[in-house]
A and B are shown apart, each in its own frame.
Chain A
Amino acid sequence: MAAEQSNASPHHPVRLLLVDDLQRNRLTVFFRLILSIPHFIWISLWGLVTLVLVFINWFATLIQGRSPAGLHRLIASYVKYAIHFHAYLHLAAEPYPSFDGSPGYPVDVEIPPPAAQRRLTVLFRLILLLPALLIVLVLAGNPNSGAGTGRRSFSYTGGLLPGVAFLGWFAILAQGRMPRGLRDGAAYALSYGAQFWSYAFLLTEHYPDSDPLAAVPDLPVREDPVRLDLSDDLRRSRLTVFFRALLALPHLIWLELWGIIALLCAILNWFATLFAGRSPEGLHRFLAAYLRYYFHVVSFLYLIANPFPGFVGKAGSYPFEVLVAAREHQNRWKTGFRVILAIPALLLVGAYSALVFVVAVLGWFSSLARGRMPRGLRNAGALALRYHAQATGYLLLLTDAYPYGGPIAEGAAHETVPAIDSPSPTEGPGGGPGGPGAKPEIGLS
Chain B
Amino acid sequence: MSGARAAWERVAARPLRSALACALLGVLTLLWVLAARALWHSSVPAGMHLPHVDPRSVFSRSFLTSSASFERFLVIDLLLGDVALVVVLALYARWGDRLMRESAAGRIGTGMMLGMLGFAVLWLAEVPFNLAAVWWERKHGISHQGYLASLIASFLSLGGTFLFVSLALLITMAIAGILRRWWWALAAPIFAALALLSTFLSVYLIPDTHPLRSEPTAADVRRLARIEGIAGTKADVQDVKRQTTAPNAESVGFGSTRRVVLWDTLLDGRFDRREVDVVVAHELGHLAHDHPLKRVGWLALFLLPAAALVALFTRGRGGLGQPEAVPIALFVFVVLQLLTMPLMNVVSRREEAEADWSALRATHDPTAARALFRELALASRANPDPPTWSYVLYEDHPTIVQRIAMVEAWQARHAH
A308 pairs with B163, CB closer than 8 A:
no
> B334 at interface (Cβ–Cβ under 8 A)?
no
Bound Cα distance from A247 to B165, whole angstroms: 11
> B54 at interface (Cβ–Cβ under 8 A)?
no
> A394 at interface (Cβ–Cβ under 8 A)?
no
Binds B, one of A43-51, A158-166, A214-222, A236-244: A236-244
Binds A, one of B99-107, B140-148, B357-365: B99-107
> B322 at interface (Cβ–Cβ under 8 A)?
no
Interface centre among B102, B113, B117, B159 (most CB of A within 10 A): B102
B102 pairs with A306, CB closer than 8 A:
yes
> A69 at interface (Cβ–Cβ under 8 A)?
no
Assuming A246-B159, A253-B163, is B109 touching A308 (CB within 8 A)? yes
Bound Cα distance from A416 to B167, whole angstroms: 40
> B299 at interface (Cβ–Cβ under 8 A)?
no
Assuming A239-B117, A239-B121, A240-B117, is B104 touching A250 (CB within 8 A)? no
A57 to chain B, nearest CB (A): 39
Bound Cα distance from A253 to B116, whole angstroms: 15
> B158 at interface (Cβ–Cβ under 8 A)?
yes
Binds B, one of A12-20, A90-98, A360-368, A426-434: A426-434
Assuming A239-B99, A240-B117, is B162 touching A310 (CB within 8 A)? no
Bound Cα distance from A283 to B199, whole angstroms: 40
A310 pairs with B104, CB closer than 8 A:
yes
Bound Cα distance from A88 to B359, whole angstroms: 81
Name the B residues within 8 Å of A312 (CB-CB): 106
> B309 at interface (Cβ–Cβ under 8 A)?
no
Instruction: Mark B165-206 against chain A: 1 for CB-CB distance below 8 A, else 0.
Output: 011000000000000000000000000000000000000000
B163 pairs with A431, CB closer than 8 A:
no
B113 pairs with A308, CB closer than 8 A:
yes
B104 pairs with A243, CB closer than 8 A:
no
Assuming A243-B117, A249-B159, A250-B166, is B109 touching A310 (CB within 8 A)? yes
B109 pairs with A243, CB closer than 8 A:
no
A71 to chain B, nearest CB (A): 44
B200 to chain A, nearest CB (A): 21
Name the B residues within 8 Å of A250 (CB-CB): 112, 116, 162-163, 166-167
Bound Cα distance from A84 to B59, whole angstroms: 81
Quick one: closest B residue to A296, CB to CB?
Answer: B104
> B88 at interface (Cβ–Cβ under 8 A)?
no
A246 pairs with B103, CB closer than 8 A:
no
Name the B residues within 8 Å of A431 (CB-CB): 100-101, 103-106, 110
- Interface positions, chain A 307-333, Cβ under 8 Å from B, are 307-312, 314, 317-319
> B120 at interface (Cβ–Cβ under 8 A)?
yes
B81 to chain A, nearest CB (A): 20
A237 pairs with B104, CB closer than 8 A:
no
Give the A-B pair count, Cβ closer than 8 A.
79
Assuming A250-B162, A431-B110, is B104 touching A317 (CB within 8 A)? yes
Assuming A237-B99, A239-B99, A250-B162, is B116 touching A319 (CB within 8 A)? no
B120 pairs with A310, CB closer than 8 A:
no
A309 pairs with B102, CB closer than 8 A:
no
Bound Cα distance from A289 to B124, whole angstroms: 36
Name the B residues within 8 Å of A307 (CB-CB): 101-105
B122 to chain A, nearest CB (A): 11
Question: Which of A239, A318, A319, A429 contacts B120 (CB under 8 A)?
Answer: A239
Quick one: closest A residue to B108, CB to CB?
Answer: A311
Name the B residues within 8 Å of A430 (CB-CB): 104, 106
Instruction: Mark A222-237 against chain B: 1 for CB-CB distance below 8 A, else 0.
Output: 0000000000000001
Quick one: closest B residue to A318, CB to CB?
Answer: B104
A254 to chain B, nearest CB (A): 9
Bound Cα distance from A430 to B102, whole angstroms: 12
A30 to chain B, nearest CB (A): 50
B166 pairs with A429, CB closer than 8 A:
no
Name the B residues within 8 Å of A239 (CB-CB): 99, 102, 117, 120-121
B166 pairs with A308, CB closer than 8 A:
no
B159 pairs with A309, CB closer than 8 A:
no
Quick one: closest B residue to A312, CB to CB?
Answer: B106
B110 pairs with A247, CB closer than 8 A:
no
Instruction: Mark B335-354 against chain A: 1 for CB-CB distance below 8 A, else 0.
Output: 00000000000000000000
B205 to chain A, nearest CB (A): 16
Question: Which of A237, A249, A308, A429 contacts B110 (CB under 8 A)?
Answer: A308
B105 to chain A, nearest CB (A): 4
Instruction: Mark B82-108 against chain A: 1 for CB-CB distance below 8 A, else 0.
Output: 000000000000000001111111101
Quick one: closest A residue to B120, CB to CB?
Answer: A243
B262 to chain A, nearest CB (A): 31
A309 pairs with B120, CB closer than 8 A:
no
Assuming A247-B113, A247-B116, A249-B162, is B106 touching A237 (CB within 8 A)? no
| Chain B residues packing against A (C-beta within 8 Å) | 99-106, 108-110, 112-113, 116-117, 120-121, 155, 158-159, 162-163, 166-167
Additional pairs, 6, CB under 8 Å, beyond known A307-B102, A308-B105, A431-B103: A239-B121, A249-B166, A309-B109, A318-B104, A431-B101, A431-B105
Q: List 15 A-B contacts (CB under 8 A).
A: A240-B117, A246-B120, A246-B158, A246-B162, A247-B116, A247-B117, A249-B166, A307-B105, A309-B104, A310-B104, A310-B106, A312-B106, A431-B100, A431-B105, A432-B104
User: What 6 pairs between A and B have smallest CB-CB spacing?
Assistant: A432-B104, A307-B104, A308-B113, A250-B166, A310-B105, A308-B103
